[in-house]
Structures are given as structure tokens and as C-alpha cells.
């Protein structure tokens, strides 16, 4: 569902700078920041770096770029 939202001009300028630097569209950059903000609010003890690594790992799993870990030694 598409929704129109009015945003402050200075915020949009900041979004454009970050979107360009990270090769994202303006809407995708706003969605990214909203997603990070939601995760932070739900998990205030997690750092941004940790959240970023979790999202990267999740994407790698979805893309099929990881293999399942199989233990090679016996447990005692």
C-alpha cells in the first residue's frame, strides 16, 4: 500500500545524500532508516553495528549464500 507523507526539506536533502552514497533510491533509503528505527525501538540494547550484521546475515541466508553448520566432532 503506497502512502504519501510530507517530509521536511532539510530531512529530504539529508536522505538524498545518504541514498546517493549507498546507491539507494530516496524511498528505499527512507524505508531502510525506518526499518532500523523500528528494530532499535524494539531492541534498545542492541548497537547499530550488531543490527546491521544481523540484517546482512539474514540476507545471506535468504540468498542461499551460507551452508548449514555440521559438527565434525563427537560431544562428550
pLDDT tier at 9, thresholds 50, 70, 90: very high
pLDDT of residue 41: 97
Count of domains for the chain: 1
Tell me whether residue 42 is in a domain. Answer: yes
Q: What is the 3-state secondary structure (H, E, C) of 16-33?
A: HHHHHHCCCCHHHHHHHH
Tell me whether residue 26 is in a domain. Answer: yes
Tell me whether residue 36 is in a domain. Answer: yes
- Are residues 51 and 39 in contact, defined by beta-carbon separation less than 8 angstroms? yes
Tell me whether residue 12 is in a domain. Answer: no
Tell me whether residue 8 is in a domain. Answer: no
Tell me whether residue 40 is in a domain. Answer: yes
Tell me whether residue 41 is in a domain. Answer: yes
State the pTM of this model.
Answer: 0.75
Q: What is the pLDDT of residues 30-74, one digit of tens each?
A: 999 999 999 999 999 999 999 999 999 999 999 999 988 889 998
3 state SS of 20: helix
pLDDT of residue 68: 86
* Angle subtended at Cα 58 by Cα 54 and Cα 63, rounded to the nearest 5 degrees: 150
Length of the chain: 76
Tell me whether residue 43 is in a domain. Answer: yes
Q: Which domain holds residue 33?
A: 21-62
pLDDT tier at 1, thresholds 50, 70, 90: confident
Amino acid at each position: 500500500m503506497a502512502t504519501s507523507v510530507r517530509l521536511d526539506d532539510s530531512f529530504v536533502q539529508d536522505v538524498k545524500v545518504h541514498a546517493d552514497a549507498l546507491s539507494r533510491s530516496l524511498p528505499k533509503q527512507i524505508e531502510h532508516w525506518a526499518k532500523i528505527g523500528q528494530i532499535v525501538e524494539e531492541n534498545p540494547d542492541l548497537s547499530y553495528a550488531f543490527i546491521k550484521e544481523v540484517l546482512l546475515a539474514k540476507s545471506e541466508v535468504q540468498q542461499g549464500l551460507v551452508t548449514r553448520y555440521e559438527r565434525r566432532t563427537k560431544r562428550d
